[in-house]
Structure 1
Amino acid sequence: MSPDISEIGRLVMTLTTPDRSDGEESVPWTEQLVVLEGLRPNWHYEIRLCWPATMPTAFDLRVLDDLGVHHHLNTKPTLLHANMTKATTHRYLLIKARPDFVTPQKLSSAPAVTFELILDPLAFGVLPKSLLPVLGWLALAILVGLNLVLPLIHALLDEIVHGQRQKMVRIKSQ
């Protein structure tokens, strides 16, 4: 998965659990190794997973470096390339999943779960880049709202002040 600086990295994947024929009660974890390429050094990223609520699934995500990945080489890695000219690096993301629901019958395997993996660079190390347009529109809406509401508030306050001044003049003239 490669985050281009102008767009967010997205990957739709499906994990299937292997058949369970050894008599164990629980369905085993399914693993998928994803290579995160094109990461800029010293940048921070957010990884999000989205999956249907109708498929309750427990996920375990682990970011691995080159040394930690050799234990998981039995899984076929998913690889996406970035076309970036600046210095980049890569990491490995190990995604483990298993069903997270109770069923009256013993499952030998669970239905496949399709999920979307989103890799979003953090602007200023804090805000996901995908949030910046929303914040821009929110700031614009606040400015437009203030330009519409402030004159009304000013007119209302002027009216109140004018009324109070008239009362003061009447009191002084008596």
Structure 2
Amino acid sequence: MLSRIFRAIAYLAIVLACLLQLAAANVEKEIFLGPPASTDPDVSLAGHLVPQLASSEHCSNCRAIRTRLNTSFVGKGVEHWVRVNGLEEGRRYEVRICWAATQPTDFTLDLFTPDQVLRDSALLEGILAYPQDGAVQEISGSKLYLRVLAKTAYVSSQKSRMENPEPVDVDIILDPYFLNVVPESLLKIIPIIVMVAVFAWWVGGWIHRALLDFAVKSAAAEKKHR
């Protein structure tokens, strides 16, 4: 009986270990509501060629970009810009940046409307000075500009690594919320979480009954031998 119990525990541990593989990276995120579309015709000229998000496999409405960002030990880090367009006014979104735990980096995410960019000369200069992307796809809806500050977060005994920090590979993902409650990318794994919870509840009850039965039989056997 004990072998069956240990086998059930092992199966549950394997399932949980598989799920933990989903969290094999660091994540920094911002949750926000889609802003109203700007009516200023000059807004579209600001950061028009800044890299933007494309269709993603994370969910049907998700968009993402996979890129390599330079980092620095100086100040708040290196400034990067991404254009986030196609937003619905009032809808909840989550924008997150994911990177490998083997590349220690501190990221700071800030979102700005086009109007804020045009009113702030420092932001506008930062966007216009950022390397331009010729592949532009216009998507209906409002837009925001995502500023990513990448600061190196490791210490190395190698002088070359300290003087020239290595770039970090990242995924930047825009994830809309379903009914403004849960990110759409989680809809695929919610059934898995439910099944694991039900399985764990069933296994836990079975183990409890088996151990209780084992204890009762052991106590009866011990009493019989007295």
For the criterion TM > 0.5, the same-fold answer is: yes
Conserved? CA contact 1:27–1:109, under 8 Å: no
3-state DSSP class of the match of 2:163?
coil
- Following TM superposition, where does structure 1 have runs of at least 4 consecutive aligned residues deviating by more than 6 angstroms? 140-143
Match of residue 166, structure 2, among 111, 124, 146? 111
How many angstroms apart in 2 are the aligned matches of 1:136 and 1:70? 45
TM-score in terms of structure 1 length? 0.65
Q: What is the Cα deviation at residue 113 of structure 1?
A: 0.7
Which protein has the bigger helix share?
A: 2
Contact 2:61–2:176, Cα closer than 8 Å, also in 1 = no
Higher gyration radius (CA): 1
Corresponding residue for residue 15 of structure 1: 69
Task: Point out which structure has higher relative CO (alpha carbons under 8 A, 6+ apart).
Answer: 1
Structure 1: where are the runs of 5+ without partners? 19-25, 150-174
TM-superposition CA deviations, 1:33-52 (whole Å, max 9, x none): 10001111111111111111
Q: Percent identity?
A: 25
Alpha-carbon distance in structure 2 between the residues aligned to 1:13 and 1:140? 35
Is residue 81 from structure 1 mapped to residue 81 from structure 2 by the alignment? no
Match of 1:171 in 2: none
- Superposition deviation, residue 96 in structure 1: 0.9
Give the root-mean-square deviation of aligned CA atoms: 3.2
* Change in CA separation of 1:80 and 1:113 when aligned onto 2, cut-off 3 Å: farther
Counterpart among 29, 46, 65 of residue 94 in structure 2: 46
Pairing of 1:55-66 with structure 2 (within 5 A)? 55-66=103-114
Q: Identify unmatched segments of 5+ residues in structure 2.
A: 1-52, 118-122, 203-226
Q: What's 1:122 paired with?
A: 177
The Cα of 1:98 is off from its aligned counterpart by 1.6
The answer for the alignment partner of 2:153 in structure 1 is 100
Aligned residues: 139
> Which amino acid is the alignment partner of residue 51 of structure 1?
W
